[in-house]
């Protein structure tokens, strides 16, 4: 089982995006892939769940995470930040040894 925190601000933003971006039967996916300046990067999208995905429920929001990504986001906190410099999802990851200034790239 995977454990992570999904803040109220992040949940609200996913609900807002779902109205205009998600297709029927799609849920919010968090994933990790190779890339970025630190080796790995986080990604977020609306997608269809597969049989292998972990499913997490936060209020009205269902998150899905594939098994590969789950190992990298265990115990992370997903938030949504909006200020004069940027707006977007951020990940505070206790497993990351280093992160990039953008906050979406990390190494383990």
Q: pLDDT tens, 11-67?
A: 999 999 998 888 888 999 999 988 766 678 889 999 999 999 999 999 989 999 999
Show me where the domains of the chain are located.
5-107
For domain 5-107, give the fold.
Answer: Hypothetical Protein Aq_1857; Chain: A; (2.60.300)
Q: Is the predicted pLDDT of residue 106 greater than 90, yes or no?
A: no
pTM: 0.84
Q: Which residues have C-beta within 8 Å of that of residue 103, sequence separation ≥ 6?
A: 90, 91
Q: How far is CA 28 from CA 9, 31, 36, 88, 108, in A?
A: 15, 10, 22, 14, 24
- CA-to-CA distance for 51 and 60, rounded, in angstroms? 21
pLDDT category, 101, cuts 50, 70, 90? low
């Amino acid at each position: 089982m995977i454990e992570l925190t999904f803040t109220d601000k992040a949940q609200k933003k996913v609900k807002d995006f779902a109205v205009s971006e998600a297709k029927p039967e799609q849920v919010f996916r968090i994933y990790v892939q190779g890339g970025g300046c630190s080796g790995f990067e986080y990604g977020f999208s609306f997608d269809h769940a597969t049989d292998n995905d972990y499913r997490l429920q936060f209020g009205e929001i269902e998150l899905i995470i594939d098994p590969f990504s789950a190992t990298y986001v265990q115990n992370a906190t997903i938030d949504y930040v909006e200020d004069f410099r940027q707006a977007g999802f951020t990940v505070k990851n206790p497993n990351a040894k280093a992160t990039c200034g953008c906050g979406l790239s990390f190494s383990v």
